[in-house]
């Protein structure tokens, strides 16, 4: 054993290896491999726990919304008060999200929140 630790953050199999031969099997020929040699296991683990910074671009884009438009519809009382509520009276909201290319520098993601029919925060 060489006394070094080889952390593979991006490669065929992520992990910390004790020899260069083990490490190079995971990274040589792997496009975008991210790996580094460390003197201690703690340093190698810290490297593994770091997130890979994304390329220089905005992390999010605001949706194009025309806030000057309004609709004038007459809503029934039932429709106006149709906010989901739990049995304890707490308001219920729904969320969903997705990511394309998760774990890669070029990953993009988004999410949505739904507060209920005709809620102003939708």
Predicted model pTM: 0.43
Domain boundaries, the chain: 5-49, 77-114
Domain at 5-49: CATH code:
3.40.970.10
Residues 18-28 have a mean pLDDT of 95
Q: What is the mean predicted confidence (pLDDT) over 101-115?
A: 82
pLDDT digits (tens, 9 = 90+) for 78-93: 444 555 666 677 777 8
Q: Convert the pLDDT of each residue in 62-75 to its tens digit.
A: 455 454 554 455 55
**pLDDT tens digit string along 90-103?**
777 888 888 888 77
CA 78 to the chain's CA centroid: 38
Q: Which residue has the higher pLDDT, 101 or 18?
A: 18
Give the CA angle between residues 16, 18, 19 to the nearest 5°: 120
Strand positions, DSSP E, the chain: 5-10, 15-17, 34-38, 94-100, 108-114
| Residue 48 structure tokens | 């593994």
């Amino acid at each position: 054993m060489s006394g070094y630790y080889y952390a593979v953050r991006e490669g065929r199999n992520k992990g910390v290896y004790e020899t260069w031969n083990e490490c190079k099997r995971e990274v040589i020929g792997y496009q975008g491999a991210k790996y580094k040699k460390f003197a201690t296991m703690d340093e190698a683990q810290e490297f593994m726990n770091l997130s890979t910074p994304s390329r220089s671009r905005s992390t999010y884009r605001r949706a194009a919304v025309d806030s000057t438009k309004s609709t004038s519809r007459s809503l029934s009382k039932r429709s106006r008060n149709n906010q989901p509520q739990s049995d304890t009276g707490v308001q219920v909201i729904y969320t969903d999200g997705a990511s394309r290319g998760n774990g890669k520098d070029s990953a993009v993601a988004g999410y949505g929140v739904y507060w209920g029919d005709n809620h102003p925060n939708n």
